[in-house]
Structure 1
């Protein structure tokens, strides 16, 4: 065992002890975070507008501060972008994380000197938690790759602006700099396909031990490695034993990854976003991720089925239940308040609090009142593939409201690695799994409002071509699992 790996084990033990202290006192921990946030922001423009100085408890806060998404918070953000101080949080942000996807263009998510360290600590602690649980630390001596956006930053009225993953690249600790790949020059390549080709060339003969990124884009990297080497990734990188991912559910990719790697490897799931780092997988044996309650974020939860009602009930951490689909709301030390990031979660454990990401509140299908969510389609596909040789590279689902003939249906666009021998039988398996999970969908099938889902095959690399066509190939961009319209479907059917 090297000095570095021994030190990592000692540090992991220290961090585990600190984590247990707040995880075992969740309600008190969140209450302290809440009080500190209100106190720090009471003299900001937002704090004065919402009478923070009069807020004594969460009930006061819920009355004074309505739920907002980015567009509703935008008037405040725009003032910050122009360079004004003390708007949503004291002083100015140190960065803006630039993201896309809103109806009116780019989003500028503030990162402050108080919030930025928690992004870095959470990623570090996820790895240390793995070391503490498994005792495995030798990988710290190998090379590590993090597939991410360019670290080149712009200037916006004196504040640095870039993709979150590119901003984070500036905070890699010195003890990891020698191990980290790709090189700075390669990381700065903007075009994703060119960048992946360069990363393949740069890493092919290296001792890669840890690989991290969004599964769909790591898959592209693995496929290019296999093509270059003529053998599985696990033979090219004999010491590669840890895959770290976030952004999407890994399960639809797992079978393909194990084939590309040639063996099973441990994995750590993360739940990061520009708005904050919310959770990480703290145990290999557990399905959910540990919700980070001591990271400058106060969480609220609204039941998904109540979210679009006039005045939905807002729950705090001590009030949540297992298995319920909640919309996640945030108030943070970057100045977001009762902020809807669009993600939905379900709790898998209450001691400690662990979550899975169940989907997006905007990414669902409810063209007929079925309200199908991302977790349901991913689970149904996984069940249908069990004990088969079928494997899937990527998929998305959309409603077909007005077919040329017959009843409406859900259309599944699937890029197969191994295609089913009987497509109708495979579609029926998915459909039955969907009906077991979603009673509304089942009612629509039984009542002959909908017919069994239809699968449309997508050609090899078809989804990459779609993402390229909308300027979102690579980086932190993700294909929506569900759409309540035909915008994505039209790309493949027109």
Structure 2
């Protein structure tokens, strides 16, 4: 065992114990985070506008501060962008992470000297929890690749601007610099396809042991590797590749394709990062869900998704949540986001400690007929269909067809197959049955002859990549919505 591997095991044990210390006191820890946030921001413009000096408890906070999305917070953000200080958080942020909004165009999310360290620590601690549980340190001496955005930043009024993954690239610890790939020059390439080809050239002969990124774009990297190596399995190219780290989307729809491309199973770690904060990571290979980070400068509130669009939906705190309910995640952070709706929905898989899965997006659902189908349901249905029919898919999305040329309306599943099912009708039936079991409203619509069963539409090879390219969203942190309540994506793919 190398010195680095031994040090990783010792450090992993230390971090595990530190995590347990706060995870066993969730309500107390969240109350402490809340009080620190209110105290720190009391003299900011936002704090004065919302009477932070009068806030003593969460109920006061909820009364004084409405739930906001980016558009609601934008007037404050624009003041910070123009160089004004102590608007949302004391002083100026270190960075603005630029991210693509689904309805707002580009969004600029502040990162402060208080919030930035938690982004770095969380990613590190996820790996250390894996080491502590499995004892596996084989990967620490190999090369590691992180498929991410360009680290080139711009600066205005003393604040740097860039993509979150590009900002994070500036914080890679020294002990990982020798192992980290691709090179800085390659990482700075803006065009995604050119960048992936350059990464392939740099890495194909290296001893890659850890690969990290959004599954859809890692898949593209794997495909280019196989083209370059005359069809070799990824596991043959990288004999010591044994850990895949991912976030952004559910891995399950991609798992079969990945294992086929790799030629074997590899361990994986799921992360839940966003420009707004690093919320959770998979702390155990044995338990479902990701550990919600309650001690990272973020105060969490939760609103039931099926009540979210009511006039005054009730927001609850960590001690009041229940298992299996779909909650909209509301955050207040040490970067100056206050009762901010990030758009993600979560479900708790454990309450001791608090673990979550990302169940979808509050704006990404299908409810054209009142069924309110969410991403978690369609992903579960696809997982079941893939397992029972032995097929392989590259990508899929779902949309309603309200006005078909004939017959009843339906949900259209647009699927890019790597290996098609022998019987498409059986495949569709499996999906439909799973959806009916998961969603009583969908079942009622089928039973009542309001909807007919799902319709599968085949998408041509690389169809999803071509669509993303046409939208200027190829690569990086961009991803295809798993489902939508309109046909903008579906009609483009068709």
TM-score (ref. length: structure 2): 0.99
- 2 CA distance for matches of 1:143 and 1:87? 42
Please give the per-residue CA displacement for 1:55-106, whole angstroms capped at 9, x wherever unaligned: 0000111101110000011110011111100000000000000011243421
Between the aligned partners of 1:284 and 1:268, the Cα distance in structure 2 is 8
Per-residue CA deviations over 1:159-184 (Å, capped at 9, x if unaligned) read 10000000000000101000000000
5+ long unaligned stretches in structure 1 = none
Q: Which residue of 2 aligns with 1:46?
A: 46
1:221 paired with 2:221, answer: yes
String of CA shifts for 1:327-369, please: whole Å, max 9, x gaps: 0000000000000000000000000000000000000000000
Size of the aligned set, in residue pairs, is 493
Q: Does 1:338 align with 2:357?
A: no
Residue in 2 that maps onto 1:115: 115
Question: Contact 1:9–1:135 at 8 Å: present in 2 too?
Answer: yes
d(CA) in 2 for partners of 1:206, 1:420:
36
**1:18, 1:33 → 2: CA distance?**
17
Change (3 A) 1:448 1:387: closer
**Deviation of residue 226 (structure 1)?**
1.5
1:324 match: 325
Q: Hey, what's the Cα distance between the residues in 2 that align with 1:143 and 1:103?
A: 39
What are the residue-to-residue correspondences of 1:188-199 with 2, within 5 Å? 188-199=188-199
Where does residue 184 of structure 2 map in the other structure?
A: 184
Q: Name the residue aligned to 1:98.
A: 98
Cα distance, 1:386 vs. partner? 1.3
The SS at the match of 2:388 is coil
1:16 maps to which residue?
Answer: 16
Counterparts of 1:290-439 in structure 2, within 5 Å, are 290-439=291-440
Equivalent residue, structure 2, for 1:30 = 30
Aligned-pair distance for 1:228? Answer: 1.5
Show the 5 A alignment for 1:244-259. Answer: 244-259=245-260
Taking the aligned partners of 1:464 and 1:223, their CA distance within structure 2 comes to 12
Q: Does 1:275 align with 2:276?
A: yes
Instruction: Return the offset for 1:388.
Output: 2.7
Where does residue 475 of structure 1 map in the other structure? 476
On the 8 A contact 2:70/2:104 being kept in 1, the answer is no
Deviations 1:445-480 (A, max 9, x none): 000110011111000000000000000000000100
Deviation at 1:424, TM superposition (A): 1.8
Q: Tell me the residue number matched to 1:210.
A: 210
Deviates most, 118-127 or 425-434: 425-434
Q: Report the RMSD for the aligned CA atoms in angstroms.
A: 0.7
Deviation at 1:387, TM superposition (A): 3.5
Contact in 2 for aligned 1:399/1:485 (Cα 8 Å): yes
Contact 1:2-1:138 within 8 A present in 2 as well: no
Please give the alpha-carbon distance, in whole angstroms, between the structure 1 residues aligned to 2:164 and 2:334.
16
Q: Which residue in 2 is equivalent to 1:3?
A: 3
| Inter-partner Cα distance in structure 1 for 2:447 and 2:176 | 57
TM-score by length of 1: 0.99
Give yes or no for contact 1:44–1:87 (8 Å, CA) kept in 2.
Answer: yes
The one-character-per-residue Cα deviations of 1:179-216 (angstroms, maximum 9, x if unpaired) are: 00000000000010110000001000000000000000
Q: 1:488: how far off?
A: 0.3
In the alignment, the residues of structure 1 paired with residue 92 and residue 37 of structure 2 have an alpha-carbon distance, to the nearest angstrom, of: 16
CA contact (8 A) 2:145 2:180 kept: yes
Q: Any idea what SS the aligned residue of 2:91 has?
A: coil
For residue 386 of structure 1, give the secondary structure of its aligned residue in structure 2.
helix
Residues 389, 427 of structure 2: 8 Å contact kept: no
1:488 maps to what in 2? 489
Q: Distance in 2 between matches of 1:388 and 1:490?
A: 27
Q: Kindly report which structure 2 residues correspond to 1:51-90, keeping only aligned pairs within 5 A, or say none.
A: 51-90=51-90
Question: How far apart are the structure 1 equivalents of 2:313 and 2:139?
Answer: 47
| Structure 2 contact 213–245 (Cα < 8 Å) conserved | yes
Cα drift, residue 382 of structure 1: 0.7
- SS in structure 2 of the partner of residue 39 of structure 1: helix
Distance, in Å, in 1 between the alignment partners of 2:20 and 2:368 is: 44
Q: Which runs of 5+ in 2 are unaligned?
A: none
Separation in 1, partners of 2:7, 2:235: 27
1:165 and 2:165 are equivalent in the alignment: yes
Partner deviation per Cα, 1:4-36 (whole Å, 9 max, x = no partner): 010011000110110000000000000000000
Q: 1:148: how far off?
A: 0.1
Structure 1 residue 306 displacement after superposition: 0.4
